[in-house]
Structure 1
Amino acid sequence: MTITLITGTSTGIGLQVAVQAAAAGHTVVATMRDLGKADALRSAASDAGVTVDIRQLDVTDAASIAACIEATVAAHGAIDALINNAGSGHLGTIEQEGLDAVRDVMEVNFFGVVATTRAAMPHLRASKGRVLTVSSVGGIVGQPFNEAYCAAKFAVEGFMEALAPVAATVGVRVSLVEPGAVSSDFVANVGADVPAMVAAAGAYGPALAGYIARTTAAFSPAAAQTPAGAAAAIVELLLAETPAVRIQTSDAARAFVARKLADLDGSAVFTETIGWVS
C-alpha cells in the first residue's frame, strides 16, 4: 500500500486530494500548519468512509518538516509519494509593497516546497517513489498584481523541471500540476480588503479594481473548476504507471498554458493580460 504525504490539506484542493487518494487505496498522511483547522478534513473523510492520518507540518519551519517526516516513517515504514500542495495567494505590485512581503510569498510557495522535497528525498529514493508539486498556470503565465506569487510559482516550475531528470536517475519521478482557476472565495483566500486596497493603490487603483473584478468572476463556481475536479486529476497522476512531468487539471488550464508556450515574443500573453486591467 502506498504511503502518501500531502501538505496543505485543511481546505480546497489539498483536502480533496487527501480524501480521494485515501479512497483510491493510499495510506494518506494529510498535513497542515494549524491542526485547529482539521475539522473540515475529518468531516470530508468521514463522509467518504475513509481514514486519513492528520499531522502538523509547517512548510516554512525546518523542524516541523523534519518531525513530521520522521513520525510518518516511524508510523508507516516509508514515504512513497510526496504531494507538495501547501501555498498561499498574494496580491500586490512591487512599487507599493516592501521586499519583506515578496520574501514571505517566496518562503511559503517556493522555499517551503524545496525544503519539504529535500527532507523527503532520501525516503522517496529508498521507495522509488514520486514527487507531485501543485504549481499553477501562474507558474507559466505572469499575471497582473501577482508578481510575487507568479515569481514563486515560476521558481517552483524551474526547480522541479531541473530536478526531474536528476531524480529519475535514482528512481524518483517528479511531476508538476498546473491548475487554472479553481472555485473558491478568491478575495477571502488572499486576505484582501478590496476597498482598502483599491483606495490605497493610487495610480494603480483602476487597474487593481479591474483585475479583482475579472478574477473574482473567473474564480466563481459558475466559471471555475471545482477543487474536487482538480484533485481528481492529481490523484490520476499519482496512480499513473508513468507519470507525466507536467499536467494541467482542466481544458481551460491547458489552453492558457499552450498560449504561452507558443508565444515566442510575448505579445499574445501581454495582449490578454493587459485586457484584465484596462
Structure 2
Amino acid sequence: MCAHTQNAGEEPRMSTNKVVLITGTSSGIGLATAIAAARAGFRTVATLRDPARAGALREAAAEAGVELDVRALDVTDAASVASCVEGVLADHGRLDAVVNNAGAGHVGTIENGTVEDVRQVMEVNFFGVVQVTKAALPHLREVGGRVVTVSSVGGVIGQPFNEAYCAAKFAVEGFLESLAPVAGAVGVGVHVVEPGAVASEFVSNVGIDQERAVADAGPYGPALAGYLARTNEAFANAAQSPAEAAEVVLAALTEPRPAFRLQTSAAARGFAGVKLSDLDGSAVQRLTGAWIA
C-alpha cells in the first residue's frame, strides 16, 4: 500500500536513488524523519502498524511537497516484516537504509505490573528492532547501507517507573553496540540515536490516567507522583521538537562517518554523559533518586 503526493512547490534537494525504510511514522520523530529524508532526496518508505493512522503523515508530506511510499508494517509480526522488505525490494529494486523508530512507552513498577507487560514492551521496542534489522541486513550488505535506530537516553540511564521501557532500550543498545563492528566488517554502518524529552505523542500514547495511577500505586504512590511531576515539567518546558530530533537521524543517514552513538540535544548529551563516566553507579542513583524524593 502506498500513497504518492505531488511535488509541487517542494524545495530543492539532493538527487539520490537511495531507498530508506522507516518504521513508526504515524507521528513524532518517525513522521518528522520521513519528511526530512524525502526532502533530502531519499525514496522514502514510511511504514506504520495501522495505515488508518497515516492522516498526519500524508498531510505533512503534502505540506512539504514530498512523495512518500506509505506501507503497513507491524514490527512485532515476522511475516509483516518479511513481506514489507520483500515488497520494497520488488518495487524499488534496492534498500539502502533502515530507520528503526517504532516503539512504545510504559510507565509502572514490576510489583504492581505483570511479567506479560514487560514481555510486550520488549516485543515492540527490542524484538521489533531485531526482526527489521535481520530482514534488512542482506540487502544493506549489497549496497554498503546503514541501520539507524532511534533509542533513547533511557537506553543509557535506567529511570524510575520505566523499568520495562529502559530494559528494552538497554537491550537495543547492547544488541547494536555488539552488532556494529560485525556489520561494519561487511560494509554496513550501525548507528544509535538517543533523544531526551521530545514534544510528541509518545508520552500521551503511554495511555495512563496519572491520578488513577498514583492512587492505585499503593506504597509506591508518593514516588510515582514525584516522578510524574518531574516528567510533566521536563516535557512541558525542556522538550525539543520532533523535527530537531529528526535532523540528527538524517545526519546518521547522510554524513560520511557518523558516530555510533548520537544524542539529539545538549541536554541529552549531558544526561547520557553522567552514566558514561559513572563507573560505580552512584552518580546515576543520586540523580534519578532525586526525581522521586
TM-score (norm. length: structure 1): 0.98
Counterpart CA distance in 1 for 2:205 and 2:61 is: 23
State yes or no: 1:73 paired with 2:89: yes
**SS of equivalent residue, structure 1 residue 275:** helix
Counterpart CA distance in 2 for 1:186 and 1:210 is: 20
> How has the CA–CA distance of structure 1 residues 139 and 100 changed in structure 2, closer, same or farther, with 3 Å as cutoff?
same
Instruction: Indicate the residue corresponding to 1:25 in structure 2.
Output: 41
Gaps of 5+ in 2: 1-16
> Which of 172, 182, 186 is residue 188 of structure 2 equivalent to?
172
Instruction: Indicate the residue corresponding to 2:147 in structure 1.
Output: 131
Counterpart CA distance in 2 for 1:238 and 1:267 is: 36
> Which of 175, 184, 196 is residue 159 of structure 1 equivalent to?
175
State yes or no: 1:249 paired with 2:273: no
Contact 1:84 1:113 in 2 (8 A): yes
Kindly provide the amino acid, as one letter, of the partner of residue 199 in structure 1.
A
Counterpart CA distance in 1 for 2:96 and 2:202 is: 33
Counterpart CA distance in 2 for 1:149 and 1:36 is: 26
Deviation of 1:96 after TM superposition, in Å, equals 0.8
Deviation of 1:187 after TM superposition, in Å, equals 4.8
1:21-44 alpha-carbon deviations (Å, 9 max, x no partner):
100010000000000000100000
Contact 1:59 1:86 in 2 (8 A): yes
1:24-80 alpha-carbon deviations (Å, 9 max, x no partner):
010000000000000100000110010110000000000100110011001100110
Contact 1:73 1:79 in 2 (8 A): yes
Deviation of 1:186 after TM superposition, in Å, equals 6.0
**SS of equivalent residue, structure 1 residue 138:** helix
Contact 1:88 1:190 in 2 (8 A): yes
1:28-177, aligned counterparts within 5 Å?
28-177=44-193
Instruction: Indicate the residue corresponding to 2:6 in structure 1.
Output: none
Counterpart CA distance in 1 for 2:146 and 2:280 is: 35
Counterpart CA distance in 1 for 2:74 and 2:288 is: 33
**SS of equivalent residue, structure 2 residue 219:** helix
Could you tell which deviates more after superposition, 154-163 or 231-240?
A: 231-240
Deviation of 1:184 after TM superposition, in Å, equals 3.0
Instruction: Indicate the residue corresponding to 1:238 in structure 2.
Output: 253
Deviation of 1:266 after TM superposition, in Å, equals 1.1
Deviation of 1:189 after TM superposition, in Å, equals 2.1
1:123-182 alpha-carbon deviations (Å, 9 max, x no partner):
111111000000000000000000000000000000000000000111100000100111
Counterpart CA distance in 2 for 1:262 and 1:9 is: 34
Counterpart CA distance in 2 for 1:102 and 1:119 is: 24
Contact 1:28 1:53 in 2 (8 A): yes
Kindly provide the amino acid, as one letter, of the partner of residue 6 in structure 1.
I
**SS of equivalent residue, structure 2 residue 44:** strand
**SS of equivalent residue, structure 2 residue 291:** coil
Counterpart CA distance in 2 for 1:237 and 1:107 is: 25
Instruction: Indicate the residue corresponding to 1:227 in structure 2.
Output: 242
Kindly provide the amino acid, as one letter, of the partner of residue 205 in structure 1.
G
Deviation of 1:193 after TM superposition, in Å, equals 1.1
Deviation of 1:244 after TM superposition, in Å, equals 1.3
Gaps of 5+ in 1: none
- Quote the sequence identity (%): 62
Counterpart CA distance in 2 for 1:190 and 1:158 is: 24
Instruction: Indicate the residue corresponding to 2:277 in structure 1.
Output: 262
Deviation of 1:188 after TM superposition, in Å, equals 1.7
Contact 1:187 1:194 in 2 (8 A): no
Kindly provide the amino acid, as one letter, of the partner of residue 151 in structure 1.
A
**SS of equivalent residue, structure 2 residue 33:** helix
Deviation of 1:185 after TM superposition, in Å, equals 5.0
Counterpart CA distance in 1 for 2:204 and 2:24 is: 17
